[in-house]
């Protein structure tokens, strides 16, 4: 029996504490300044999502959030104070005399000066009050008692009188603006949410670009950062740690890479189109790296929605060609601080041009003889080694050829053949 009474008491106290939290919630949000603060917060959230303006919006948002946190802390402390100093009773009777409200349940009474009230709210069944001393009171407004105690009224008898006295005591203590302020919160929240969601629509705001970057942008550290030692295959190995690249790749634009004299890669960028074994388009890969800005390779996916495989722009021929191209020996002749690699796929050159040679996968070289001067064109997968910004230094163009094509070119007598050691 005692256990049942104790459980019932605990359940009543739990409900009472929950009611205090709810009323403090009303008190917290049903205030004009808090609504204004909410409006300012939503405005700058929208401005941040739509236009960016980080330097302008973020400081204002930080101040707003700090104020909200302080108010929330005050709200939690008030809840704790009222829960600690209040008894879990619903008072059935009350009397009003000498600007004091006396509430009663059974033989227990409590006096509440009207001047000490800080909050009150009505609903159809109850009146909720809070005073400065930390007391929280619930008064029953229904006519539940047939006969009131001498000098006291029940809710049915004194409802209007109590309401009148509370209103006279201070309208500012009542949540009389509850409906318009809560309506304002709903309107501001709906409008703010709608505008933020619209900012997330592709090409409609900074938020859309941010979300697109999260979804379509991958980053991976460039570990194989020496062109002489790791070649381009090492770069692809680092990229494939983050994404799976298809076997068939071709250029959508071109390939450019800068490196130091010791082979350290400084930057590169290219856009590739990927295809499966059947030639079906898989996706695009915008790949970039800048050593001065980051140690990571950036890969942007799905920049192109469709594509056709172009054999003359085969990227794998560049990767294979860089395995055998004498890049280190070539740049060693120039002694500059920075060098570059440029590749656009299959290109054609006049035999008038200098430093254009054929290259095979076995480091074989075919160099045009003097008798070929101006007689025919030279074509192949062109790997250009050059000095950026040095137009007076003639680049070397290594025309990389598959084995069958290179063997056929060896039969011509107007080329000098040798193997690069």
pLDDT 10s digits, 203-242: 888 888 888 888 889 999 999 999 999 999 999 999 999 9
Distance, CA of 276 to CA of 370 (rounded, Å): 44
What's the residue count for the chain? Answer: 421
3-state secondary structure of 32: helix
Query: Which of 17-21, 127-131, 289-293, 370-374 is modeled with the greatest confidence?
Result: 289-293
Q: List strand residue ranges (DSSP E) for 28-99, in order.
A: 90-91, 93-97
Question: What is the reported pLDDT for 134?
Answer: 81
CA distance readout (Å), 7 to 13, 14, 89, 138, 321: 10, 11, 16, 21, 82
Residues in CB range of 51: below 8 A, 6 or more apart: 205, 206
Which pLDDT band holds residue 202 (cuts at 50, 70, 90)? confident
Residues in CB range of 147: below 8 A, 6 or more apart: none
Percent of the chain with pLDDT over 90: 36
pLDDT 10s digits, 310-328: 999 999 999 999 999 999 9
CA distance readout (Å), 168 to 117, 130, 303: 12, 16, 68
Residue 1 has pLDDT above 50, yes or no: no
Q: DSSP assignment of 280-339, as one string? A: -EEEEEEEEEETTT-SEEEEEE-S-S-----GGGBHHHHHHHHHH--HHHHHTTT--SEE
Which pLDDT band holds residue 264 (cuts at 50, 70, 90)? very high
User: pTM to 2 decimals?
Assistant: 0.65
Distance, CA of 222 to CA of 291 (rounded, Å): 9
Q: DSSP assignment of 245-284, as one string? A: PPSEEEEEEEEEEEEETT-BEEEEEEEEEEE-TT--EEEE
pLDDT 10s digits, 290-304: 999 999 999 998 877
Residue 347 has pLDDT above 90, yes or no: yes
Residues in CB range of 329: below 8 A, 6 or more apart: 420
Query: Which of 133-142, 150-159, 387-396 is modeled with the greatest confidence?
Result: 387-396
Distance, CA of 129 to CA of 137 (rounded, Å): 5
Which sign, positive or negative, has the C-alpha torsion 351, 354, 359, 365?
positive
Which pLDDT band holds residue 421 (cuts at 50, 70, 90)? low
pLDDT 10s digits, 63-119: 999 998 998 888 888 888 887 877 787 887 888 887 888 888 877 888 888 888 877
């Amino acid at each position: 029996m005692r256990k049942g009474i104790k459980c019932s008491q605990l359940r009543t106290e739990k409900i009472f504490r929950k009611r205090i939290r709810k009323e403090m919630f009303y008190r917290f949000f049903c205030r004009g300044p808090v609504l204004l603060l909410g409006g300012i917060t939503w405005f700058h959230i929208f401005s941040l999502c739509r236009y960016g303006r980080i330097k302008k919006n973020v400081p204002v948002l930080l101040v707003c959030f700090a104020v909200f946190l302080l108010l929330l802390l005050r709200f939690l402390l008030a809840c704790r104070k009222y829960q600690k100093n209040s008894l879990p009773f619903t008072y059935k009777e009350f009397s009003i005399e000498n600007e004091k409200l006396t509430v009663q349940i059974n033989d227990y009474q409590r006096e509440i000066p009207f001047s000490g009230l800080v909050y009150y709210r009505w609903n159809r069944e109850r009146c909720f009050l809070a005073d400065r001393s930390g007391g929280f009171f619930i008064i029953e407004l229904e006519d539940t008692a047939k006969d009131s105690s001498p000098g006291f009224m029940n809710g049915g008898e004194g409802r209007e009188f109590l309401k009148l006295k509370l209103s006279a005591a201070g309208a500012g203590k009542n949540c009389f603006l509850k409906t318009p302020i809560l309506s304002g919160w709903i309107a501001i929240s709906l409008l703010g949410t709608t505008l933020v969601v619209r900012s997330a629509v592709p090409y409609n705001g900074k938020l859309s670009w941010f979300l697109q970057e999260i979804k379509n942008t991958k980053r991976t550290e460039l570990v194989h950062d020496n062109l002489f030692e790791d070649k381009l295959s090492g770069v692809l190995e680092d990229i494939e740690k983050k994404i799976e690249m298809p076997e068939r790749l071709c250029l959508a634009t071109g390939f450019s890479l800068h490196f130091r004299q010791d082979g350290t890669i400084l930057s590169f960028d290219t856009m590739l189109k990927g295809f499966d074994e059947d030639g079906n388009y898989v996706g695009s890969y915008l790949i970039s790296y800048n050593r001065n800005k980051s140690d990571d390779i950036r890969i942007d996916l799905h920049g192109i929605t469709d594509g056709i495989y172009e054999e003359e722009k085969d990227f794998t021929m560049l990767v294979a060609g860089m395995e055998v191209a004498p890049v280190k020996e070539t740049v060693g002749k120039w002694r500059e601080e920075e060098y570059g690699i440029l590749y656009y796929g299959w290109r054609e050159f006049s035999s008038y041009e200098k430093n254009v040679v054929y290259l095979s996968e076995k480091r074989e070289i075919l160099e045009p003889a003097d008798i070929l001067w101006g007689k025919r064109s030279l074509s192949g997968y062109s790997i250009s080694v050059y000095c950026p910004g040095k137009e007076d230094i003639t680049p070397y163009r290594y025309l990389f050829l598959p084995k069958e094509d290179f063997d056929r070119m060896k039969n011509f007598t107007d080329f000098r053949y040798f193997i690069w050691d």
